Chains A and B, each alone.
Chain A
Amino acid sequence: MGFQQINKTLIITVLLLHTAIKIISAAEEEPTLELYKTKLGLNYTKKTSGDKILMARLTSRVERKWIGIKNAEVYFYAQVDTTDTLLGKTKTDDNGESVLHISASRILKNYSDDFIFKVKFEGNETYTGAEKELKIRNVEMIISLSEVDSIKTVNIEVYETDSISEKLPLEDVDVYFYVTRLFGLLKIGEGWLINGKSSIEFPNDLPGDTTGNLTIVARIEDNEVYGNVEVRENIDWGIAISHNPGNTARELWTRTAPLWMIISLVSLLSFAWIIYIMLFYNMYRIRKTGSISNNNID
């Protein structure tokens, strides 16, 4: 029994010591800071004016979701003549997105006539660094609008230009056609390029502004070789919409209130004023009879 007691005490003591050592050693251990891994996405869009827009998105995987990193500095480069030239640096917004505008006049081409863009995030005390490269072939897109026998047609022509300034028409690339609306783009058709050309018939029932003007947009979207390319053209092919309400009925939302409301308000206010007048008249009568009785007292 005595040995058993000693054994038990020993076991408990050893266990307690072991636990204490574990706790102390755990406390002494430097906390290892594990950096979050990041990922960069890069998107290219060429506008009608020839200006280019680079949009980078910096994300990190937190709890099995890709979350945008905000306020991170992102550097944009273009490879010109085999060297990386800094185009600019921007900070990411709340969604981790960062946008850089490149003017049409800026020379970006390298020896291969392609654009090679690079976006870089250098990392910080929380996140690892990341970079992304994007190779884009420059194309020219031309939009022309024609109307024959009241049939309106939107035509586009897309071509590359080679080193000796020769036009090389694009083949089998999808093209999408839209018109701009208040909150976005309304798709009116799609086609694909044959010998660099595509066209659609423009619908006749689209509303425009007060004079029928609207903006037609033709786009190549998310193409692996060409990125996003778009052209826009204004024309008065829409139905002119007049915003003058004319002789509309009196409603809650018109400038003049409904008659029932005016009548209710005027009646209620008239009633209130009749009561006010009555009250003041009673005050006058109280005062008048008071002065008579005072005279009688005197």
Chain B
Amino acid sequence: MKPDNKNKNLINEFTPFLERPDKVWFLKISVLFLFIAIGFYAFYVQVKKGHIVTGMRDHVVWGIYIINFIFFLGLSYAGALISCIFHLARIQWGKPLMRMLEMTATISLVIAPVYILLCIGRVDRLHHLLIYARIQSPITWDVIAIVTDLFFCFVFLYFTHIRDFARLRDLPEIKVSRWRKRLYRFLALGYRNTPEQAKYLNQALDIMAAIIIPTSIIAYSLLAWLFGMNLRPGWHSSIFAPYFVLTAVYSGIALLIVIMWIYRKVYNLEKYITIEHFYYLGFVLIILDLFYGYFTFSEYITEWYNSQKTPTLLLYKFFNFSEYGGLFIFSNFIAAFLPLIIIGIPWFRSVKSITITSALVIVALWIKRYLIIVPTLETPYIPIQDNRAEWVHYSATWVEWALTLAGIATFILFFIFSSKIAPIIPVSAMEDKTKKIKIFYHKKN
């Protein structure tokens, strides 16, 4: 028997995106590869000449590499957290977005740790992290948490693809190369949507979704504790872990909106990614915006009120326009107020305005991470003895910016490649309206 027409149409709608790409696609890929190649050259320069080619010195030992690490890790945990909540709560309107979220989670989690490797002066001693691991160190816990989460995310991403791989395997008219068809057959695991198979798959998905939520929260909290457990102004705070998790979810939702808008435009997915999706996520953005504003205010008011010398000096830097005043005002205005104004007031609200606001929120939250790391390291409790300008003030070099852009290019590239392997909308999940197991694969005649 053949698949019913309705289901066949749905998968057929997406097959053109999986088939042979056009020239524009190759052009996009080439541009991204160019950025990645520049990044590799920057990495070569860094390995050859050492970290002197970066802006990092004895005091500001962490620069934009660690900021990118926190940023990508935040996007990953947000993607995993939201997709698992959508999955467990069976939120129907969230189904078209789940694959984007799962891909964000996995791709970001692959890219983020690379930035840690760029921070390490002696990459050849990386294995020391394992052989001399100290359980008491939050770094060890973070490494374990990231590796565990990466594995869960990969497996979850794969399991959510199994049904679609099976559909693609059974589409004789799909114009893809022989190796791709073989790949679909291999990855589909012989799935025929029998009640037993559906039961095993759903069981695995439910367990993983339930596991990934706490794992993501724990892993990102561990990252926050790496900072919070340091006795440094601006870091030594008990609300750092929830603040980090909240900021991660906030940036994750903002990125999801931007990705939604891009795919909606490029693949004409208006039927699946509707205006309501933008509005729903826009309202989520407002709620997160309010929480973010509340946390930010609590963080700074407590720091300011105790009037300790060094934390007060740090706060003055945030309000001094010759230091970080501009970045501080921009970051906090965009992240704590803009969604409230643009999305909260109906007159401003539209798909475009929500997307632009989200893009600005992503930039603002990246700057927020910069403000967490750099000014604190420039303001230690023990005064800086060496007063050479580049020792006291950090400024990123072309090497660091090139590697940052290479990371963003890799993120986009992986997204483009992934959406060439399987549909960006989880077709099988979209067909399954009732969440009950049903047979839509039939015996061949």
Q: Which residues of A contact B (CB under 8 A)?
A: 94, 252-253, 257-258, 261-262, 265, 269, 272, 275-276, 278-279, 282-283, 285-287, 289-291, 293-294, 296-297
Contact = CB atoms under 8 A, between A and B. Distances in A.
A290 B134 contact: no
Contacts of B171: none
A282 B192 contact: no
B211 A275 contact: yes
Contacts of A291: 190
B190 A279 contact: no
Contacts of B162: 286
A262 B135 contact: yes
Interface residues of B, number: 29
Contacts of A296: 443
Contact of A261 (B135, B144, B190): B135
Nearest to A297: B443
Given A94-B387, A290-B191, A282 B204 contact: yes
Interface stretch (B17-25, B194-202, B276-284, B286-294): B194-202
Interface in B162-204: 162, 189-192, 194, 196-197, 200-201, 203-204
B208 interface: yes
B359 to A, nearest CB: 36
Given A269-B144, A275-B207, A286 B136 contact: no
Given A279-B207, A279-B208, A297-B444, A290 B189 contact: yes
Contacts of B136: 252-253, 257-258, 261
A276 B151 contact: yes
Contacts of A276: 151, 155
Contacts of B211: 272, 275
B148 interface: yes
B190 A290 contact: yes
29 contacts: A265-B141, A265-B144, A269-B148, A272-B211, A272-B215, A275-B152, A278-B204, A279-B159, A279-B204, A279-B208, A282-B200, A282-B201, A283-B189, A285-B196, A286-B190, A287-B189, A289-B190, A289-B194, A289-B197, A289-B200, A290-B189, A290-B190, A290-B191, A290-B194, A290-B197, A293-B192, A294-B190, A296-B443, A297-B444
Contacts of A293: 190, 192, 194, 197
Contacts of A272: 148, 152, 211, 215
A283 B200 CA distance: 8
Which of A265, A272, A276, A291 has the most chain B CB atoms closer than 10 A to its own CB? A272
Contacts of B444: 297
Contacts of A285: 196-197, 200
Contacts of A253: 136
Nearest to A251: B136
Nearest to A262: B135
B428 to A, nearest CB: 14
Contact of A279 (B155, B192, B443): B155
Nearest to B211: A275
A281 to B, nearest CB: 9
A290 B192 contact: yes
Given A257-B134, A257-B135, A269-B144, A287 B190 contact: yes
